[in-house]
Structures are given as C-alpha cells and as structure tokens.
Amino acid sequence: MPASHAQSDAAVLAADTPVERPVYDTVVIGAGIAGLTIAHRLNRAGNSVLVLEASGRVGGAIQTHRDGDFLVECGPNTVRDTHPEVGELIEEAGLLEERIVASRSAKKRYIVRGGKPVAMPMSPPAFIKTSLFSIRAKLRLAAEPFIRRANPEKEETVAEFVHRRLGKEFLDYAIDPFVSGVHAGRPQDLSVSQVFPRLVEIEQRYGSLILGQIRGASERKRRAEKPRSAAPMFSFARGLDRLPRELARQLGEAVLIGCTVTGFAREGREWAVEYSDAADRQQSVRSLSVVYCGGLQQADLLKPLGPETDLLQGVYYPPLCVIALGYRRDDVGHPLDGFGLLVPSIEKRNILGALFTSTLFEGRAPDGHVLITAFVGGSQQPEMTNGDDQRIIRTAEDDLRDLLDIHGRSVFRHVTRWSAAIPQYNLGYGAVKNALTALEKRHTGLFFAGNYRSGISVSDTIHFSYKISETIGKYIAAQKTIRDEPTP
C-alpha cells in the first residue's frame, strides 16, 4: 500500500473515525543498507513493504558528502566483492556502469613503526626483507606450526589468540592496527571466534595458521574459489551512497524518512507498529512481520520484547570521528601509493590511521590536490573525540604532518562524528547473537538484521540481508496461506 494512503488513513483515525489501519506484509525499521536490501528483495518478490527511517536520510552508516570537487565518504569507503549477492544487488539497482574498482596501488598498506610508515609485506620474500618486524619476530613466526591447538571450548580474545600463535610483535604491529583501523576496537576486548572465525577454524582443522593457509589455498584452487583478500574493492563514481539512495528511489513511497518508531507489538497474527511521522503526528500500521534494522542500544523501543534486550543494550558502540583533509599535492612529501596507513597503539599517536582516498578512487579531489581521510577515537581512545571540530582537525593534521611529510596547511576540511560507530564483537558476543535468535523464536514474525548480526562490513551485511529476506518471504507466504484458508 502506498505511503500516501497510510498517511491519509492516519488523518482519518485522528478524527476518531473507526477505520482499519493499513496492513503491510512487512514493516522494516531502519533504512540503512540492511533495511533497504531486505525491503528491495521482498518488494521484488511481490510483498508489500513499508520502511520507516528516523533520520532525514537513507543509508545509515553509508554517507557521502560532496563539496565542490572533493568527495568524502563519512562512513565506509569501499565494499569488497566477497559474496555473489553484492554484485546481484548492484545489478538489480542498475548501478553496474557506475561501479569503479579501487586502484591497483591500493593493495599496498603502510604500518607506522618508529614514527615512519613502513609497507606491510605482501609475500614471503617481502616478509623476510621487511624492517616492519625484527629478526626475533620473524623467527617466532617460523615456530607457529609447532604451537598446540587451543581448547575449542575456551573463548579467546583476538590478543590472546595472536599472542599465543604468532607472538607479541606480530600482535602489536599487524593485528592491533588492523583491529583498531577496521573495527575501531581493541584486540584485548574482541572475541577471536566472532571477529575472525576463519582463523579459529583453520587452527582447529590444520593445527597451524601457516599450514592452513598453504593447504587452504590448494583447496580453494581446486574449487575455483578466491580468497577474501583477493576480492576486488569498489565504490561508485558519485560515491558509495549511490547504492542506498537508488534502492530507496526504486522503493518510492514505501520509504518514509523522519519517522520515529515509538513501539511495536504483536496483536494476534499481526504486528501493530506505532510511529511519529515527519510532521510529528502519531501514526499506526499493521503488518504480518517486522524487521528491526536499528541499533541495539535503543533501550526504550526494545525493552518490552523481554529480558534478553538488557544484553543487547550492553553492546558497546564506541565514538569515532572521520576527518577528511584536502591538501595541495605538492605539499605532501609521501607518494600516497597505497590504501593508507594504520597506526599501532604502541606508537602512541592520536589517530587510528588514514586512508589515501584520492589514490583509492579517481574523482575524489580536484586536479593538483589529494584527499586524506583520518580516523580518531574508537575503543582505543574514545576520549579523543571530545572537543570541537577545530581541535579534532588539529589533532589529525599534527599526526599526518609528521607521518606523511606534509609541509602546507590543508585547504579542505570536513569532520563527521559518529557517537555510536561500530558494534564491538567483544568476548562473550556469542550470547548477544543467541539472544537475537531467542527473541525471533519467541516473537513470531519478528526479525533482526544489521552489522551486529553477521559481520560489520557492507558486503557481509548485504549477504546476511539476502539470507534473512528468504526466511521472511517464506514466513509471509505461510501466514497468508493460514489467513486465506476457509473457516470450517
């Protein structure tokens, strides 16, 4: 049913006229990439959907800012083509021609050691020659195949797992910066089985990460599979938010922004969803199912579902600042020939890392300029997000000046603040996933989807959204069959 009908019916309800509330096959709460993907899939299958988004835009964490010839990604900068559903969604959205693949030079990664960016070795010969790791660390890595498997019943943190198998130096200068730069987290807190389940699987299966990598490569070759790291990274010429915006455009009036859900509860075989619309009017609709794609920290909305929600609301979302800085190319001494740089916490810097944005993709900065995106805060240093934008900018500029040999001042600045950035899959996070499953079983027709469910990346979220869309579609079909059965 079109949204305009829902709004007109609500006006009649406000006049105390006894009419039926609009009924949808599903109501999706949240218009991030999870909610829009699910709505898109269900809509294509012939189901009626309504998407309610509290903010004034769609896309969730995917947000692109354009200022003249500078193009800034305020959230994710790239998507990896790791699942077939990613390409399928882009094709259905009609965006294949707008898709651009990251530059070949983006394969190079820099890690800061001793105050200088050092290229991460990407091959065994490069690892032997690199100055990123000491001779002692290299010898320690050679001992990895002889380390015992862990007790599969014991959950380890990322730090415990890596320190045990690879040694402290590899933890400090490889895993720590990766975890803080990608997950905005701390390896001392994150669960290795939740963040890197493949590593745990390899250890248990092969007894060694190194042997597992070698044998796994031959097995993938026989199956004609590509490793995750080999999957191409891409964006769109006009920014990553082209995908959510186009999905929303195709859904049309089924997507309502500025609409805050105030409550939802099961009434018989249907769900009643109450929300405040963009004009601050109270509205009410019914649906066969509800898909919650909002944040887990929304206590007032989730609390009535049951005691499990206390666990959900305990999930930590650290604050994060994304600082985009434009410079004249001649003012930057570093070649910027890579994806970016990551900063280990042991280096005692203020930024978590930086992306060489204009190297990654063309069209991100004017001619003769470069765009660098730095990150501050996260679980490592949440206090660094305090203060006004000017302080945050100075913090990033000071570190980049030293690390990238920058001589001039930035000519473009943009700060995005995320008060709750990325859900942390900390030790014990499996209980959170179990709680979500328990709530879905108890509340028939309720489903949860988002980056707290099956991985924080855009591609993982799309992959899970496809899977749960199939489950929801089957549920809707079953409910319609029950409803349409003749009464004896």
Nearest to 292 by CA among 308, 273, 307: 273
Q: Is the pLDDT of residue 72 over 60?
A: yes
What mean pLDDT comes out for the span 241-255?
97
Comparison of pLDDT for 5 and 422, the residue scoring more: 422
Q: Is the pLDDT of residue 8 over 70?
A: no
Tokens of 344: 């280990």
Give the bridge partners for 270, in sequence order: 267
Lowest mean pLDDT among 19-33, 142-156, 220-234: 220-234
What mean pLDDT comes out for the span 131-150?
94
Q: Is the pLDDT of residue 225 over 50?
A: no
Q: What is the pLDDT of residue 220?
A: 57
CATH hierarchy code of domain 64-105+317-418: 3.90.660.20
Q: Is the pLDDT of residue 481 over 80?
A: yes
> Is it true that 64-105+317-418 and 133-147+154-230 share their CATH fold?
no
Q: How far apart are CA 434 and CA 440, in angstroms?
A: 10
207: left (phi over 0), alpha (psi -120 to 50) or beta: left
Q: What are phi and psi of 288, to 5 degrees?
A: -75, -25
Percent pLDDT > 70 in the chain is: 92
Q: Is the pLDDT of residue 36 over 50?
A: yes
Average of per-residue pLDDT values in the chain: 91
Residue 231 pLDDT grade (very low, low, confident, very high; cuts 50, 70, 90): confident
Residue 229 pLDDT grade (very low, low, confident, very high; cuts 50, 70, 90): low
What mean pLDDT comes out for the span 36-52?
97
Q: What is the pLDDT of residue 5?
A: 41
pLDDT in tens, 265-299: 999 889 999 999 999 999 999 999 999 999 888 77
pLDDT in tens, 330-386: 999 999 999 999 999 999 999 999 999 999 999 999 999 999 999 999 999 999 999
pTM of the model: 0.90
Q: What are phi and psi of 413, to 5 degrees?
A: -140, 135
Please report, for residues 23, 74, 154, 415, the alpha-carbon distance to residue 418 in angstroms, rounded to integers and kept in the order given. Answer: 35, 9, 34, 10
Please give the CATH topology (third level) of the domain spanning 133-147+154-230: protoporphyrinogen ix oxidase, domain 3 (1.10.3110)
Nearest to 299 by CA among 290, 284, 312, 289: 312
Give residue 317's identity as a one-letter amino acid code.
Y
Give the bridge partners for 23, in sequence order: 286
**What does the domain layout of the chain look like in residue ranges?**
3-61+240-315+426-484, 64-105+317-418, 133-147+154-230
Give the CATH architecture of domain 3-61+240-315+426-484. Answer: 3-Layer(bba) Sandwich (3.50)
What mean pLDDT comes out for the span 108-127?
93
Q: Is the pLDDT of residue 158 over 60?
A: yes
Q: What is the pLDDT of residue 300?
A: 81
Report yes or no: 376 and 75 within 8 Å, Cβ to Cβ: no
What mean pLDDT comes out for the span 78-91?
93
